[in-house]
Amino acid sequence: MLPRGRPRALGAAALLLLLLLLGFLLFGGDLGCERRKRGGRAGAPGCFPGPLMPRVPPDGRLRRAAALDGDPGAGPGDHNRSDCGPPPPRPSKCELLHVAIVCAGHNSSRDVITLVKSMLFYRKNPLHLHLVTDAVARNILEMLFHTWMVPAVRVSFYNADELKSQVSWIPNKHYSGLYGLMKLVLPSALPAELAHVIVLDTDVTFASDISELWALFAHFSDTQAIGLVENQSDWYLGNLWKNHRPWPALGRGFNTGVILLRLDRLRQAGWEQMWRLTARRELLTLPATSLADQDIFNAVIKEHPGLVQPLPCVWNVQLSDHTLAERCYSAASDLKVIHWNSPKKLQVKNKHVEFFRNFYLTFLEYDGNLLRRELFGCPSQPPPGAEQLQQALAQLDEEDPCFEFRQQQLTVHRVHVTFLPHEPPPPRPHDVTLVAQLSMDRLQMLEALCRHWPGPMSLALYLTDAEAQQFLRFIEASPVLAARQDVAYHVVYREGPLYPVNQLRNVALAQALTPYVFLSDIDFLPAYSLYDYLRASIEQLGLGSQRKAALVVPAFETLHYRFSFPHSKVELLALLDVGALYTFRNMSSWCCPRPSPSICPMLQAWTSPASAPAPPIVTASRPSRTNSTRTCPATMGLLPSNTSRPCSSPRAPPETEAEAGRALPLVLALGRHQGNPACPPPSLLFKLFKVSGKGWG
């Protein structure tokens, strides 16, 4: 029988105590969380206090004034509680994260690569990039990712031009143009099965692991669909100048450089209609958007505040011209994403800009090859061709004296075609593109080359990521080069100790857009008249698609540093007579054999004054190539192949000491062989052929 009355009450109390104690032990971890929450430590993800941190009431709706203009000393908002309460926020180790970026044109393509590098540097999850691109960006980025071969990265392309009509009716004053509006149509443009996506502007840089950002999806209430950081300027407050009338926004509004999108919920909520309705209505009284998609996102959110989940300010530190971002980053110890949202980009005036620029430069100049890192413990489909490549590399014999050459041959170099803005040449039936390749130490040839060849060029540059930036500055600083839109520069990123001459030539060749190409070497300067002369010759000789033919050009070289470029055959012959010029390779050379007998008679014939009246001439000298080395067997015909690593055949000792450290000068005179009876038929020295021809491997 149970005791009754007082004993029973005592028993109940004891049981209660026991249960409480048990509960306390079971849920003991809570204290840690509670303390962490109260402490409001700035370093914890999602726990950033600060005046720019909007606080969200439990119902998920924004209390306007109180939320956005809270006192600077305020601790973390309710928002932060979710850190301790709900399940662990970071996505699981191998969860696939989706990222969407709109990218158009040559310059944005370069920007997006820096963003991707920063993202890949910190990421620990597989990524799927959804790139909405125009034709230019697609051409660049498709090749880039194909050759980058980063494990656990998938890339899908979406045609921005097909989406244009959906936003082209909106007048937009923002520098991003039509493409700036395209984020609005992502819910319909991206695959229907895609439910979550992080949307990024091309001008953001990651300073942390993107999975931490992805984790913030877990904080969304059941109705929230758009995660955004508050705008870190007073723009939307509408008091910047007299008659400043921004689009409507909640308080300071939100910045759309970094967006978490619940695509599924937006589709369900009728997003397509929602933003169009809002935009149409606002455009009745406002002339245009000032900040592109951001104006429309803000107007929609003002109407439907339940859609938005405010994110901690560190996920979009905005370096606009009149930024308030310092309130955010001086309180936080951990910056997550930097947003260069001033039209001045890295040149923005800001007392801490040096700090942020350092972050940006880190990734701008970072060797992208180093990001080919596997994710341990996350099985993922290897990039196309990667497995075969690994196998082939594994089969190489390190003791083989040609090991380095074979390894280099198997190297897939990252390729960034049309690194700079480029206008393809208009279609002309006899047009010729000059095709060449070079490394950093030959940059100074470009101006002279541009002066000598007024036609289209396709040049492959073998550079590191940091050198590519130096190259960019070099072009910008040269009025001659900056003025030329018909020169396409293709960056092939350096890897390995050898200079992959064939791979470079093939990249440049594949990107030539005219029916004919003129394969040259960067050390050769064509005669001023050669471009016209070749086109005229092609037409005159009827070298149509039916007839495969090559035009052969003789070459000359000089030993002099200073040299007046001959303007006529008479001048050239005079120089030959006094010994200021030699026929090309008619001197002992380093790696390549002397000109073969089949070539020499031809040159002799050409140099006879009787042969041709007005020879087009190419001349150049060759300073040394310090770091790059040509793979000897790869060179063809008369292309110079002086390499510091001679191939199996022993090389002749350099003639003089002065030669040892430097390389040979060349003068190359080009001209079609005029059929002198003393001369054999033209040999295939330099070919002019249809681009459809397969490159050399």
What is the footprint of a copy of itself within residues 663-692 (CB under 8 A)?
Answer: 664-665
**Closest distance to a copy of itself from the beta carbon of 407 (Å):** 13
* Neighbour count for residue 361 (Cβ, 10 Å): 15
Q: Which of 655, 678, 684, 696 touches a copy of itself (CB under 8 A)?
A: 655
Nearest to 404 by CA among 592, 593, 643, 642: 643
Q: Verify binding: residue 571, a copy of itself, rule CB under 8 A.
A: no
Nearest to 115 by CA among 136, 76, 144, 158: 144
* Neighbour count for residue 397 (Cβ, 10 Å): 9
Closer CB to a copy of itself, residue 218 or residue 286?
Answer: 218
Closer CB to a copy of itself, residue 35 or residue 594?
Answer: 35
* Neighbour count for residue 372 (Cβ, 10 Å): 17
**Closest distance to a copy of itself from the beta carbon of 584 (Å):** 15
CA distance 255 to 535: 54
Question: What x/- string results for residues 142 through 181 when contact with a copy of itself is judged by CB under 8 A?
Answer: ----------------------------------------
**Closest distance to a copy of itself from the beta carbon of 435 (Å):** 20
Q: Verify binding: residue 28, a copy of itself, rule CB under 8 A.
A: yes
Contact call for residues 459 and 506 (beta carbons, < 8 A): no
Contact call for residues 136 and 105 (beta carbons, < 8 A): yes
The three-class DSSP label of residue 42 is coil
Q: Verify binding: residue 482, a copy of itself, rule CB under 8 A.
A: no
**Closest distance to a copy of itself from the beta carbon of 248 (Å):** 33
**Closest distance to a copy of itself from the beta carbon of 612 (Å):** 23
Task: Tell me which residues in 320-339 interact with a copy of itself (CB under 8 A).
Answer: 329-334
Task: Tell me which residues in 491-520 interact with a copy of itself (CB under 8 A).
Answer: 497
The three-class DSSP label of residue 683 is coil
Q: Verify binding: residue 124, a copy of itself, rule CB under 8 A.
A: yes
- Gyration radius from the chain CA atoms: 33
Candidates 175-183, 251-259, 339-347, 617-625; binding stretch for a copy of itself (CB under 8 A): 617-625
Exposed, middle or buried by CB within 10 Å (0-12, 13-18, 19+), for 654? middle
Q: Which of 15, 74, 192, 678 touches a copy of itself (CB under 8 A)?
A: 15
Closer CB to a copy of itself, residue 269 or residue 375?
Answer: 375
Contact call for residues 283 and 308 (beta carbons, < 8 A): no
Candidates 17-25, 106-114, 132-140, 283-291; binding stretch for a copy of itself (CB under 8 A): 17-25
Residues binding a copy of itself: what is the number (CB under 8 A)? 100
Task: Tell me which residues in 374-403 interact with a copy of itself (CB under 8 A).
Answer: 374-377
Q: What is the widest separation between alpha-carbon atoms in the chain?
A: 134
Q: Which of 235, 297, 315, 366 touches a copy of itself (CB under 8 A)?
A: 366
Phi-psi region at 559: left, alpha or beta (left = phi > 0; alpha = psi -120 to 50):
alpha
Q: Which of 64, 173, 322, 451 touches a copy of itself (CB under 8 A)?
A: 451
Q: Verify binding: residue 350, a copy of itself, rule CB under 8 A.
A: no
**Closest distance to a copy of itself from the beta carbon of 23 (Å):** 5
DSSP characters for 610-661? TS-SS---EEE-----SS--B-GGG--TT-----SS--SSPPPPPSSHHHHH
Closer CB to a copy of itself, residue 162 or residue 387?
Answer: 387
